[in-house]
Amino acid sequence: MKRSYILLAGLAIILAGCQPQPNTGKGFSLPEGDASRGKTTFIELSCNTYHSIADIEQPHVMIIAFLM
């Protein structure tokens, strides 16, 4: 009887490992987008401060840090 519980628990663990995890991204797809709006938003939100994209001309931005 005890052996049956151990086998059942082992089977449950094995089957649980076969299920896709919630963070896998399986079935995920990006929505349709507008590249020109994305480029404009990239600049407006100052994403170009720390990131760059090859086909977006980067305006020269000076970063000034104020120490308090």
* Cβ–Cβ < 8 Å for 17, 23: no
Is pTM, for the whole model, over 0.95? Answer: no
pLDDT of residue 32: 86
* Cβ–Cβ < 8 Å for 10, 21: no
pLDDT of residue 47: 84
How many angstroms separate the Cα of 45 from the Cα of each of 12, 40, 55, 62?
Answer: 48, 9, 17, 15
Predicted confidence band at 18 (pLDDT cuts at 50, 70, 90)?
low
Helical segments of 1-68, H only = 2-17, 35-44
The residue among 49, 53, 52 whose CA lies nearest residue 63 is: 49
19-68 pLDDT, tens per residue?
666 666 667 777 788 888 888 888 888 887 888 877 766 666 555 655 55
* Mean pLDDT score, 10-15: 78
